[in-house]
Structure 1
Amino acid sequence: MVSEYASNGHNTERISGDLSPSERFLQELLEPADIQLNGCRPWDMQIHDPAVADAILARGSLGLGESYMEGGWDCQRLDQFFHRVLRARIQDKVKPSRALFHTLKARLLNRQTGQKAWQVGEHHYDLGNKFYGAMLDSRMTYTCGYWKKAETLEQAQEAKLDLICRKLGLQPGMRVLDIGCGWGSLMGYAAEHYGVECVGVTVSREQTAWAQQKYAGLPIEFRLQDYRDIDEQFDRIASVGMFEHVGRKNYGTYMDVARRCLKDDGLFLLHTIGTREDASGSDPWMDRYIFPNGELPTISQISRAAKGRFVVEDLHNFGADYDKTLMAWQENFKAAWPDFRYELGERFYRMWEYYLNACAGSFRAREIQLWQWVLSKEGVEGGYKRVS
Structure 2
Amino acid sequence: MGEVLTWHPVHLGRRSSRALVAETDWWVTIVHRAKKASSYKGTSSKAILHQYDFLGDFYRLTLGPELVYSYGMWEEGDTLESAQLRKLDHHAEAARAVGARRVLDVGCGWGSLLHRLVETHHVKHAVGITMSPGQAAWARDQHWPGCEVRTENWFDHEPDGPYDAIIAIEAIEHFAGNTMWRAKRIARYREFFERCHSWLLPTGRLSLQANAWNDRGWLTSLVLSPEQLASTGERGSGSEHLGLRAIQGGVKNVREGLHASRKVFPECFLPTRAELTEAAGGLFRVVETRSDPADGVRTVRIWLERAEANRARGAELIGEGAVSDILREQRTALRFLREGRFTVVRMVFEKR
Q: TM-score, normalised by structure 1?
A: 0.65
Identity value in percent: 27
Pick aligned residue for 1:223 from 150, 174, 199 = 150
Number of residue pairs aligned between Structure 1 and Structure 2: 267
Pick aligned residue for 2:71 from 133, 140, 144 = 144
Q: Using a 3 Å threshold, how does the CA distance of structure 1 residues 128 and 273 change in structure 2: closer, same or farther?
A: closer
Deviation at 1:135, TM superposition (A): 0.9
Deviation at 1:123, TM superposition (A): 1.3
Give the match's secondary structure for 2:290. strand
Deviation at 1:121, TM superposition (A): 1.3
Deviation at 1:128, TM superposition (A): 5.7
TM-superposition CA deviations, 1:66-122 (whole Å, max 9, x none):
xxxxxxxxxxxxxxxxxxxxxxxxxxxxxxxxxxxxxxxxxxxxxx92275323311
| 1:370 partner amino acid | V
Matches within 5 A, 1:174-193: 174-193=101-120
Matches within 5 A, 1:300-315: 300-315=274-289
Q: Does 2:265 align with 1:338?
A: no
Alpha-carbon contact 1:133-1:140 (below 8 Å) kept: yes
Matches of 1:139 and 1:240, distance apart in 2: 15
Alpha-carbon contact 2:42-2:174 (below 8 Å) kept: no
Q: Using a 3 Å threshold, how does the CA distance of structure 1 residues 130 and 117 change in structure 2: closer, same or farther?
A: closer
Pick aligned residue for 2:138 from 166, 186, 210 = 210
Provide the residue aligned with 2:175 in structure 1.
246
Q: Does 2:163 align with 1:234?
A: yes
TM-superposition CA deviations, 1:359-384 (whole Å, max 9, x none):
01111111101111111112xxxxxx
Q: Does 2:196 align with 1:258?
A: yes
Provide the residue aligned with 1:158 in structure 2.
85
Deviation at 1:300, TM superposition (A): 1.7
TM-superposition CA deviations, 1:114-146 (whole Å, max 9, x none):
275323311110126542221102111000011
Deviation at 1:306, TM superposition (A): 0.6
Matches within 5 A, 1:31-70: none
Give the match's secondary structure for 2:71. coil
Provide the residue aligned with 2:248 in structure 1.
none
Matches of 2:259 and 2:168, distance apart in 1: 25
Deviation at 1:340, TM superposition (A): 2.6
Give the match's secondary structure for 1:366. coil
Matches within 5 A, 1:252-331: 252-276=190-214, 277-278=216-217, 280=219, 283-331=257-305
Alpha-carbon contact 1:168-1:236 (below 8 Å) kept: yes
Alpha-carbon contact 1:179-1:227 (below 8 Å) kept: yes
Q: Using a 3 Å threshold, how does the CA distance of structure 1 residues 356 and 253 change in structure 2: closer, same or farther?
A: same
| 2:138 partner amino acid | W
Return 346-355 or 230-239, whichever deviates more. 346-355
Matches of 2:350 and 2:307, distance apart in 1: 39
Matches of 2:316 and 2:280, distance apart in 1: 47
Deviation at 1:338, TM superposition (A): 2.3
Give the match's secondary structure for 1:355. helix
Alpha-carbon contact 1:236-1:268 (below 8 Å) kept: yes
Alpha-carbon contact 1:136-1:142 (below 8 Å) kept: yes
Alpha-carbon contact 2:115-2:144 (below 8 Å) kept: no
| 2:127 partner amino acid | V
Matches of 1:303 and 1:265, distance apart in 2: 17
Root-mean-square deviation over aligned CA pairs: 2.1
TM-superposition CA deviations, 1:277-313 (whole Å, max 9, x none):
4364993222211111111111221111011110001
TM-superposition CA deviations, 1:190-212 (whole Å, max 9, x none):
11101112101111111101111
Matches of 1:371 and 1:150, distance apart in 2: 22
| 2:53 partner amino acid | D
Provide the residue aligned with 1:56 in structure 2.
none
| 1:240 partner amino acid | I
Higher Rg of the two aligned structures: 1
Matches of 2:193 and 2:305, distance apart in 1: 36
**Structure 1 gaps, min length 5:** 1-111, 379-388
**Structure 2 gaps, min length 5:** 1-38, 177-184, 223-253
Deviation at 1:150, TM superposition (A): 4.4
TM-superposition CA deviations, 1:137-190 (whole Å, max 9, x none):
211100001112442111111111111112122332421001111111111111
